[in-house]
């Protein structure tokens, strides 16, 4: 079963991406429909390994800009990684350091991504999530207080857990050492995190 899982998963993904690609409309630019420039194949990393996906590229006749609309639906950001794999990497990234994360993803899913690529992926996803959160906060603040409504709760847990953690890390900044006059010491900073789940 384990041996057949990845080839079957790749076939299912390829067919799903093909169906998705064929359902997209031609994008517009400069007030006109963009010109179809044919299919261009790209290799994506998925939970089933590498998948080759042909997707349509379009070019604007006016300004010459190229677009590939399917990429926004099948790739996570600017990375050649499927959304499902990106979600797993982000989840595991909360548990492990990035150098160890490379081996953890390989052991759990049989997929090999470099730790630098995973670090960039997690940061890009985190920045997008933070931008969405800030947009929600701004909308909330612009709404007059009598009209504000808290979002409905999907699930009412019987128990709520709270965890707090912190880390002290060293910076390149220095300050005078009070115990050794005439010498400087490195300044440390703290990051504190609280989670409710």
Residue 133 has pLDDT above 80, yes or no: yes
What sign results for the dihedral spanned by CA atoms 37, 38, 42, 48? positive
* Predicted confidence (pLDDT) per residue in 139-170, tens digit: 888 988 888 887 787 788 888 888 988 888 78
CA distance 101 to 94: 10
Q: 88 and 70: one domain? A: no
Q: 63 and 87: one domain? A: no
Question: Which of 130, 111, 131 has the alpha carbon at shortest distance from 10?
Answer: 111
Residue 137 has pLDDT above 70, yes or no: yes
Q: 57 and 95: one domain? A: no
Q: Is residue 154 part of a domain?
A: no
What does DSSP assign to residue 80? S
pLDDT at 3: 62
Q: Is residue 13 part of a domain?
A: yes
Q: Is residue 151 part of a domain?
A: no
The phi and psi torsions of 89 (rounded to 5 degrees) equal -60, -45
Q: What is the distance in angstroms between the CA of the first residue and the CA of the last residue of the chain?
A: 35
Q: 127 and 190: one domain? A: no
Strand partners, 46: 49
Q: Is 104 exposed, middle or buried (0-12, 13-18, 19+ CB in 10 A)?
A: middle
Range of the domain at 45: 1-74
DSSP output for 133-195: HHHHHHHHHHS-GGG--PPPPS---S---EEEEEEEEEEEEEEE-TTSTT-EEEEEEEEEEEE
Residue 62 has pLDDT above 70, yes or no: yes
Please, what's the largest Cα pairwise distance for the chain? 72
pLDDT at 156: 83
Q: 68 and 121: one domain? A: no
Domain's final residue, options 46, 74, 102: 74
Q: 67 and 89: one domain? A: no
Residue 181 has pLDDT above 90, yes or no: yes
Q: 170 and 142: one domain? A: no
pLDDT at 177: 92
Structure tokens at 44: 């994506």
């Amino acid at each position: 079963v384990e041996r057949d899982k990845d080839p079957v998963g790749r076939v299912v993904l390829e067919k799903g991406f093909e169906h998705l690609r064929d359902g997209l409309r031609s994008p517009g630019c400069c007030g006109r429909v963009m010109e179809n420039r044919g299919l261009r194949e790209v290799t994506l990393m998925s939970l089933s390994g590498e998948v080759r996906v042909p997707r349509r590229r379009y070019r604007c006749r006016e300004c010459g800009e190229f677009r590939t609309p399917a990429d926004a639906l099948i790739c996570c950001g600017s990375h050649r990684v499927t959304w499902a794999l990106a979600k797993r990497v982000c989840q595991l990234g909360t548990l492990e350091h990035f150098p160890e994360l490379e081996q953890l993803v390989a052991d759990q899913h049989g997929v090999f991504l470099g730790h630098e690529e995973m670090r960039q992926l997690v940061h890009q996803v985190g920045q997008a999530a933070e931008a969405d959160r800030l947009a929600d906060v701004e909308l909330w603040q612009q709404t007059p207080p009598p009209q504000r409504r808290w979002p409905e709760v999907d699930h009412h847990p019987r128990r709520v857990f709270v965890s707090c953690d912190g880390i002290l890390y060293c910076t390149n900044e220095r300050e005078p050492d009070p115990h050794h006059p005439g010498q400087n010491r490195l300044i440390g900073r703290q990051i504190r995190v609280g989670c409710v789940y």
